[in-house]
Amino acid sequence: MAGEAVKLTKAALTLDDGARFEGQAVGPLTEAAGEVIFITAMSGYQEVVTDPSYHGQIVVFTTAHIGNYGTNAAVDQAQEVQAAGAIFHELWLPPVDHWLSERDLPAYMAAHGLVSLTGVDTRALTIHLREKGSRNGYIGPWEADPGPALAKARAIPSMSGLDLASSVSCQSVYFRQGAPSREGRPNFQVAVIDLGVKKSILDQLCAHNLDLTIWPGQTPAERILAEKPQGLFIPNGPGDPAPCDYAIKTAQAFLGRVPVFGICLGHQIMALASGARTYKLPFGHHGLNHPVVDSLTGRVWITSQNHGFAVDPQSLPPGLKPSLWNINDQTLEGLEWTDIPAFSVQFHPEASPGPHDSLGLFERFYQMLRAHHA
């Protein structure tokens, strides 16, 4: 579907260390602020900007051309765009000729209020972020004097210590019905605490015969336990896990009672609930191509990742052991609880960046529930 002519206005990204990158603002909106991170995914741009894990961040796409296959509402991961901004080397301008496209990317961003820059030297910007670490940044109209923009960039709160999960959580409880049970495969009732859960993760849980009750993240554990769920799922989400004390308390209340599975932020929350520590990565892991190795079998998975914090393997208490490692930088990617039915992974197994092998983790959770409630 072809869009209208796109308005481009000279603008710039200013980082809090004084670096400035020129480009052109796409559409009428020209101001955005947040932590600037880069992502190496070559596709899935719509899924990225609607993923609540990117809430409060300006996403730099390292792939040269973005937008060439348009957009389709069916792949949105949340009802609204979550990223604070998007930066491209070259944005594909209308028309778009793809049979699934409902709207070109510039029109989609304008409709959802996403501030973006095109024409940016994203290679130089990515190298800067890789060498200096993720920085806070401000997108604004081009000004000869960078001082005001720099002041705005430096006024942005640090991601460390920032609870963003409560900002993207649902406001009221809702339900998702799992796939119909069949002979020998009953459905189980699972509670999900919403810290920014993606639609595709809920879809996979439902596909594996799990009936879901999705609770606002700050719901007291006692309220959820009163409904007698048979398992707990703790999902992805944005920000620093450490200040999410409400989610940590919920995880503590459930661990050892019923099977618990955590993904991404949920992995970190479960670790904190068990006495481990987390820390901020220099520039995080954002992309569809991160190799993860199983320390027991030696098997390697190519995974989709989006996180800026990690669990410190040196802080693991007894009863908690590492199971998966990132091959690129040896950070911890998976945990096993040795004496209770619980496990977690740092990556997003539902995203299927080509390979589908990590989808088996949802089946593992189902079988854990089945064994526990036999």
Active site residues: 264, 348, 350
SS3 content of the chain, % helix, strand, coil (to 5): 25, 35, 40
Grouping H, G, I as helix, E, B as strand and the rest as coil, residue 248 is helix
Residue pointed to by tokens 């002979």: 183
> Measured between alpha carbons, how far is residue 315 from residues 97, 115, 221, 293, 331 in Å?
52, 40, 25, 20, 13
Q: How far is CA 101 from the centre of its chain?
A: 24
Distance between CA atoms of residues 49 and 114, nearest Å: 9
Q: Are 36 and 21 in contact (CB under 8 A)?
A: no
> Could you count the other beta carbons within 10 Å of the beta carbon of residue 320?
22
**Inter-residue contact 294 to 303 (CB < 8 Å):** no
Phi and psi for 106 in degrees, rounded to 5? -60, -40
Q: How far apart are the C-alpha atoms of 334 and 349, rounded to whole Å?
A: 12
